[in-house]
Amino acid sequence: MAEMAVKKRRPKNLDLPTIRLPLPGILSIIHRISGAALFLLLPFLLWLLQSSLASPESYAGARAVVSHPLAKIVLLGLIWFYMHHFCAGIRYLLLDLHKGIELEAARLSSKIVFAVSIALTLIIGAKVLW
């Protein structure tokens, strides 16, 4: 059975610029990109945690770094990536439980993920960064 499935030729289109990705597909690729970006920023985040906890001097240094306008933009992007990955991840957990797998429900839930993750990013960004 499995071998038959592998041998069967299926039509495939991998010409990326011609693919019109629906919203759940956009959500999915941002889930991947945000995960990769969060992984790449791990050393910076660990350094920030270390500095903020080690001594009053290093704490002040960490605060100075995060209050730089450029760092604030990076951190706001990071918060959005985290919140998107978080909300989209919860959506995937629900899909695993067969909740919302119909087309309409899946489209609606991806809209909710974008709305909630952007709202949370703005709220947290406003509280922590500005």
Partner 1 sequence: MVNRILVGAHYGLKDWIIQRATAIVMAVYTLLFLVVVGAVGPDSFEAWRAVFANGFMKFATFLFLVSVFYHAWIGIRDIWMDYVKPDGLRLLLMIATATVLVGYAGWAFQILWRI
Summarize as ranges the residues that interact with partner 1 (CB under 8 A).
2-3, 5-6, 32, 35-36, 38-39, 42-43, 46, 49-50, 52-56, 59-60, 86, 89-90, 93, 96
Terminal Cα-to-Cα distance of the chain (whole angstroms): 59
* Cβ proximity to partner 1, 87 vs 110, nearer residue: 87
* Cβ proximity to partner 1, 9 vs 103, nearer residue: 9
- Amino acid 81 reads F
Shortest spacing between CB 130 and partner 1, in angstroms: 14
* Cβ proximity to partner 1, 23 vs 52, nearer residue: 52
* Cβ proximity to partner 1, 46 vs 108, nearer residue: 46
Residue recorded with tokens 């019109």: 20
| CA–CA gap between residue 86 and residue 36 (Å, rounded) | 14
Residues 61 and 51 sit within 8 Å (Cβ to Cβ):
yes
Residues 66 and 48 sit within 8 Å (Cβ to Cβ):
yes
- Amino acid 32 reads R
Shortest spacing between CB 91 and partner 1, in angstroms: 11
